[in-house]
């Protein structure tokens, strides 16, 4: 029960892209080198963010990745869901009706966490962060 490294890479990349130019894309090799991960692997991760509509990719010379238009609305939860999926953290084999309190407690706990991640936007923190 941990967040995957892919989520880590995605968060760092998003923060970097937020700080960068909104028009000129950054190549994946630069993004990968910055984080000590292989370009092809990071590319595969970023493709999920592309499909989620939060970044855009540009092929060819001087290509790379840049944020999409609606950059101000991107939340931590958006990024995490794009990478980890949206499945519930606690799954049980059977469903014993609505009165099941175990599920209720676990689900509510998860919602507490997600609520915080949803209320924190990339914009809120980009100014403070400095990734080397």
Partner DNA sequence: TCATTCAAAGACTTATTGTATCTATAATAT
Partner DNA sequence: ATATTATAGATACAATAAGTCTTTGAATGA
Residues of this chain that interact with ligand SF4 (CB under 6 A) are: 12, 92-96, 100, 102-103, 131
Q: What angle do CA 88, 90, 93 make, to 5 degrees?
A: 105
Site string for DNA, 4-43 (x = CB under 7 A): xxx------------------x-xxx-------xxxxx-x
**Residues 11, 15, 34, 50: which binds DNA (CB under 7 A)?**
50
Bridge partners, 57 (sequence order): 65
Chain positions 57 to 96 lying near its own copies, rule: CB under 8 A, are 76, 84, 87, 89-93, 96
A 10 A CB-CB count for 14 gives 24
Choose between 62 and 99: whose C-beta lies nearer to its own copies: 99
Q: Is 95 in the site for DNA (CB under 7 A)?
A: no
Which of 24, 33, 47, 92 is in the footprint of DNA by CB under 7 A? 47
CB contact at 8 A, 121 and 73: yes
Neighbours of 51 (CB within 10 A): 10
Q: How far apart, in whole angstroms, are the C-alpha atoms of residue 10 and residue 16?
A: 10
């Amino acid at each position: 029960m941990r967040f995957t490294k892919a989520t880590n890479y995605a968060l760092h990349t998003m923060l970097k892209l937020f700080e960068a130019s909104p028009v000129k894309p950054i190549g994946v090799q630069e993004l990968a080198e910055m984080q000590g991960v292989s370009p092809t692997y990071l590319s595969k991760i970023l493709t999920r963010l592309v499909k989620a509509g939060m970044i855009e990719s540009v092929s060819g010379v001087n290509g790379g990745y840049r944020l999409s238009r609606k950059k101000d609305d991107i939340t931590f939860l958006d990024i995490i869901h794009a990478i980890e999926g949206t499945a519930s953290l606690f799954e049980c084999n059977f469903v014993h009706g609505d009165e099941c309190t175990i599920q209720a407690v676990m689900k509510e706990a998860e919602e507490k966490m997600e609520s915080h991640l949803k209320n924190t936007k990339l914009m809120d923190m980009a100014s403070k962060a400095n990734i080397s």
